[in-house]
Amino acid sequence: MKRMDRNQIAARVARDIPEGAYVNLGIGLPTLVADHIPKGREVLLHSENGVLGVGPKPAPGAEDGDLVNAGKEPVTLLAGGSFFHHADSFAMIRGRHLDVCVLGAFQVAINGDLANWHTGAPDAIPAVGGAMDLAVGAKNVYVMMEHLTKSGESKIVERCTYPLTGASCVNRIYTDLAVIDVTPDGLQVVDMVEGLGFEELQRLTGVPLTRGKAAHGAALA
Amino acid sequence: MKRMDRNQIAARVARDIPEGAYVNLGIGLPTLVADHIPKGREVLLHSENGVLGVGPKPAPGAEDGDLVNAGKEPVTLLAGGSFFHHADSFAMIRGRHLDVCVLGAFQVAINGDLANWHTGAPDAIPAVGGAMDLAVGAKNVYVMMEHLTKSGESKIVERCTYPLTGASCVNRIYTDLAVIDVTPDGLQVVDMVEGLGFEELQRLTGVPLTRGKAAHGAALA
Amino acid sequence: MINKIVASLEEAVADIADGSTILIGGFGGAGMPSALMSALIAQGARELTVVNNNAGNGDTGLAALIGAKQVRKIICSFPRQADSWHFDKAYRAGELELELVPQGTLAERIRAAGAGIGAFFTPTAYGTRLAEGKETRRIGDRDYVLEHPIHADYALIKADRGDRWGNLTYRMTARNFGPIMASAANCTIAQVRETVELGQLDPEAVVTPGIFVKRVVKTGATA
Amino acid sequence: MINKIVASLEEAVADIADGSTILIGGFGGAGMPSALMSALIAQGARELTVVNNNAGNGDTGLAALIGAKQVRKIICSFPRQADSWHFDKAYRAGELELELVPQGTLAERIRAAGAGIGAFFTPTAYGTRLAEGKETRRIGDRDYVLEHPIHADYALIKADRGDRWGNLTYRMTARNFGPIMASAANCTIAQVRETVELGQLDPEAVVTPGIFVKRVVKTGATA
C-alpha cells in the first residue's frame, strides 16, 4: 500500500473544502492544507488571533510581526480580509460561523470524542489554546493525523485515554491511510489509499469500521 | 420660595458634573443638561444608540438622519468622538464605565428605587428603552424631576407604587425645590431653593429627610 | 468566485418563509433597511416574528410591515412613540404579540446568539416586572437575571458600503444593531448605499466581516 | 482639558501595587506591550496575577516579568511554547500558579467583565478536564459550562495610535486582546506608536473608545 505523506493528506483535505467556505486551520500539520487549495477556488481562512482572509506566507524580508497566524508565523492578508479582536474572533468560532476547522489529534474515539491538547503525562505543562473552542464551534470538525502511533497503535480508539478536547465533536478523520466519517451509525470509511484493502484497514484500526458511501465534504449552510 | 424652572434644574445638575466625566443624558428633560455644561469643561456625552462625544444640535439644514441621539433627535459629533454598535454601547453602560447618567422619573423611593418607565395603567403600551440598563449600570444615577406631581403629591415616596425601573439605584435627586442624596442613612438634603425652609421641604416631601453635609457631585474613579 | 452581491431587492428576500423570525436593524429611522422592508412587504411573507429596537415609525419600513399585517409578534425595547400608530392599532386590536426587552438586554441577547453563548446573567431589570418568572442569582455583590439568546432565520440590515465577500461598513449612528444582528441570523441580508471592489474597505475598519453576511444588495443613497 | 497622555512609561505604571491583577495584551509578540512591561519590571511590583494568552516568549515582555519573579499567578490559554523557558522554570519550581483557560473562554471572560455580565454559559470545554467542578447546563440541544468574568486592576496594552481622550486604533493582528482588556480593568494603560490630535482618528474606525482608557504613553515604532 501507498501511505500518504503529510502533503498528500493535506491535499486530500483541501479537496473537500468548497468554494466560499470559512475555514480555520489548526497549528501544525493542518496549516499545510492552505498550500493545497486549488488555484482559483476562493476559501476564506480564519485565524483565531483576529483575522479573516489569511493569505500566503510573505516573501522573505517582508514579514511583519504584527501580522501573524495562530501559530505565530508571519502571514499576509488577502484583499477583502479584515481584522477584529479576540472576543469577536471567538464569537465566530463558538457561534458556529466557521464551516470547517481542521485539527491535529492524539486520538479520536468512535463517538467523535477528540483528544489533542494534553498527553496526560503528570509532568507535562498543559496548553490548550483555541482547540476546545474550535472543537465545539465549527460546523464541521475535521481531524488530520497519522493513522497509527509510532509504536503502531491505532489513534482511532474505542474511548480516548488522553484528556478530551471536546466530546462527540469530530465529523471526519483524514489519515495517511484513509478518510473516515464519524456518524451516528459508527465509523464509515469514505476512501482508502491505493493498495489498502478494507480488511487490512479494519485490522490496523482495531475499532469497528463500515464501508461508507462516498461522502462529499463540507456543504455550506 | 423660588421654584427652579427646567433650565435651572438642568444647570444645577450640570454644576455637579466634573471635567472628564462620561455622561448619559436620558431622553426628555435630562437632555437639557447638555446646554448648561460650562464652556471649556470637557464632558463626554454618551448616547446608547452607539455614540460617544455627542456635540450640540446641528445648524438648521445640517441635520443628518444617520446621526441622532437616543431621543432620535439630530446631533453632531465632537472631534474625538466615536461610533460603535449597540452591544458595545450597552457594555459601556452595564459594565459601569459611565460616571453619571441623568434620568427623569415618576417616583423615587427612600431606598433609591426608581420608577420611570411605566405608569402601570392597564391600557398603557409599555416602553422601556435603555432606562433599566442605565439605572443599574452607571456609577452615579441622578434623577431630575419636578418635586411634586401636578396634583401636589410628592414624587419622592416611601415605596414606589409605579413599576420599578431599578432597585436601590438612585444616588441623587434634583428637583425644582431641592437637591437630595439617597444614602444608606436615608435622604439627605444637599441644598434647597432660595426662600424654602427645611421644615417646609419636609412637609411637602412627606418622607423623612435629614440635613446633609453639602456633597460634591460625581467623583471620577 | 464568491459573489454575495445580488441583483435585486426582490431576489434578496425571495426565500423568506411565513413564520420566520427576522432581526431588523435600525434605531428609529437610522439604520432601518427601508428598501428591504418594502421588498418584504411586496414578497408577502406572513406570521413573522420581528426583532427591532422599536415597533415602527410613521408609515414606512417596519411600520408598513406591521400595517400590512405580516407581523405576528414583535420583540423590542421601545414600541410606544409619537408616530407608532400602526403598532398601536394592531397591538390594541390584539393582533400582535409584544415581548418587551430592555434595550441593553435585547442587544446582548442578539450578540449572545451570534457568539454561541447559551445564556448569560445580566444585572439589568433585576427586581422589576420585566424579570418576573426569570431565574436570578446573586454573584459577588450584585443581583442578576438569566437571559437567553435571540436566534433568527434572517437579519435585514442597512449598511453603508459592502463588497462581494459581504464585508460591511456603516454610517455614524446607523450602525446601531446592524453588526450584532448580522451575527445572529442564519441568513443576513444587507442593503448598502454602495458596493465596492474587494480590498477597497480598510481591513482595520471593516465593521462586519463577510463571514456574517449572505447577501448584499445595492440601493443607492436614497433608500 | 482632558489629557490622558502621560509623559513617561515610569509615570504610567507608577501606582501599580503589589498583588495587583493585570491584564497584559498580546498574542505572542504581536500586541505585547513590551515597553510597559520593562517599566513594570523597573517599578518592581510583586505578587502579581497576570492574564495573557501565553506565558511569555524569549527573554522580553511578560517572560522577563516572570524571570524577575514578580508574578505569583498566571491565567492563560497556551503557556507551553518553544521559548517559554522563564515560565517553564518558575512553574516547575512551584513558584507560579497556573490557571489554564481555553482561549475563547479567556476572551469571553474578559469581555464579560468589561460588559457587566455576571456569568455566562459557554459550550467550550464541556465534558473536559477544564470544566471539572464547574456548573453545567443543557440549553436546547447543546451542553454548556458556566464561566465567570475576569476583572482586573490594570490592563497594559499596545495600540497603534492614540489621542488625549484615550481613543485607540491598533495595527493588524496586534489588536487581539487589546480592546477587550481595555474594557475590563479599573485602569487601562496603552502604549502607542504615535499620539495624534483629537479628531485625527476616524470616528468610524476608532477601535477602543477613550472611555475604556485612563493613560496613553507614546513609545514610537520600536517598542
Percent of chain B past pLDDT 90, that is, above it, reads: 90
Range of the domain at A59: 6-211
Question: Which residue numbers of A have CB closer than 8 Å to C's CBs?
Answer: 19-20, 22, 42, 44, 46, 52-53, 77, 79-84, 87, 90-98, 137, 221
Interatomic CA distance for residues C52 and C177, integer angstroms: 8
CA distances from B15 to A205, B9, B12, B212, D3 (A): 77, 10, 5, 18, 21
Say yes or no for a CB contact (<8 Å) between D115 and B42.
no
Residue D51 near residue D24, CB atoms below 8 Å: yes
Q: What is the pLDDT of residues A54-94, one digit of tens each?
A: 999 999 999 999 999 999 999 999 999 999 999 999 999 99
Rg of chain B's alpha carbons, rounded to an integer? 17
Q: Which of C221, C204, C114, C220 is nearest to C167 (CA)?
A: C204
Query: What does the angle CA B131 – CA B134 – CA B137 come to, to the nearest 5 degrees?
Result: 150
Number of domains in chain B: 1
The pLDDT value recorded for residue B25 is 97
The residue among B45 and B218 whose pLDDT is bigger is B45
Of D1, D116, D199, the CB nearest to B96: D116
Say yes or no for a CB contact (<8 Å) between D183 and B221.
no
Residue C216, strand partner residues? C5, C190
Nearest Cα of chain B lies from the Cα of C31 at a distance, in angstroms, of: 7
List, in order of start, the domains of chain D with CATH numbers.
21-100+152-218 (3.40.1080.10), 121-150 (no CATH)
Say yes or no for a CB contact (<8 Å) between B125 and C88.
yes
Average pLDDT over every residue of A156-183? 97
Interatomic CA distance for residues A170 and A110, integer angstroms: 9
**Which residue type sits at D188?**
T
Interatomic CA distance for residues D133 and D107, integer angstroms: 21
Chains adjacent to A (≥3 CB pairs closer than 8 angstroms): C, D
The pLDDT value recorded for residue B120 is 83
Best D103, D111, D121 member to test C by mutation, with max C CBs in 10 Å, is D121
pLDDT at residue C219 is higher than 90: yes
Chains adjacent to D (≥3 CB pairs closer than 8 angstroms): A, B, C
Interatomic CA distance for residues D168 and D180, integer angstroms: 12
Residue D31 near residue D157, CB atoms below 8 Å: yes
Residue C166 near residue C192, CB atoms below 8 Å: no
Residue A105 near residue A155, CB atoms below 8 Å: yes
Answer whether B touches A (≥3 Cβ pairs < 8 Å): no
- Inside any domain, residue A220: no
**Interface contacts C/D by beta carbons within 8 Å:** 66
Interatomic CA distance for residues D221 and D223, integer angstroms: 6
Say yes or no for a CB contact (<8 Å) between C118 and D116.
no
Interatomic CA distance for residues C162 and B122, integer angstroms: 46
Contacts of C137 in chain D (CB under 8 A): 118-119
- Inside any domain, residue A46: yes
- ipTM, two decimals: 0.97
Contacts of residue B157, defined as CB under 8 A and 6 or more positions apart, other chains included, come to B107, B108, B109, B110, B206, B207
As a whole number of Å, the end-to-end CA separation of chain A is 37
Contacts of D113 in chain C (CB under 8 A): none
Secondary structure (H, E, C), C88-124: HHHHHCCCCEEEECCHHHHHHHHHHHHHCCCEEEECC
Nearest Cα of chain D lies from the Cα of B81 at a distance, in angstroms, of: 6
pLDDT band at A219 (very low <50, low <70, confident <90, very high): low
Percent of chain C past pLDDT 90, that is, above it, reads: 95
pLDDT at residue D97 is higher than 60: yes
Q: What is the pLDDT of residues B154-206, one digit of tens each?
A: 999 999 999 999 999 999 999 999 999 999 999 999 999 999 999 999 999 98
Residue D223 grid cell: 517598542
Interatomic CA distance for residues C152 and C94, integer angstroms: 24
Task: Tell me the backbone φ, ψ of residue D158, rounded to 5 degrees.
Answer: -115, 125
Is 0.90 topped by the overall pTM? yes
The pLDDT value recorded for residue A170 is 98
Contacts of residue D129, defined as CB under 8 A and 6 or more positions apart, other chains included, come to A118, A163, A164
Best B46, B77, B78, B82 member to test D by mutation, with max D CBs in 10 Å, is B82
Number of Cβ within 10 Å of residue B128's Cβ equals: 28
Residue D39 grid cell: 517599566
Contacts of C116 in chain A (CB under 8 A): 91, 93-96, 137
Ranges of beta strands (E only) in chain D are 21-24, 48-51, 71-76, 97-100, 119-122, 136-139, 142-147, 152-162, 168-169, 185-195, 215-218
Cα B36 to chain centroid distance, Å, stands at 14
D205 in contact with C, Cβ within 8 Å:
yes
Residue identified by cell 451570534 is: C114
The pLDDT value recorded for residue D4 is 98
Interatomic CA distance for residues C207 and C170, integer angstroms: 7
Say yes or no for a CB contact (<8 Å) between A95 and C165.
no
CA distances from C44 to B98, C38, C62, C208 (A): 44, 10, 13, 28
Residue C165 near residue C4, CB atoms below 8 Å: yes
Known catalytic residues of B are: 48
**Beta strands at A178-183 and B44-47: parallel, antiparallel or unpaired:** unpaired
Contacts of D172 in chain C (CB under 8 A): 203-204
- Inside any domain, residue A60: yes
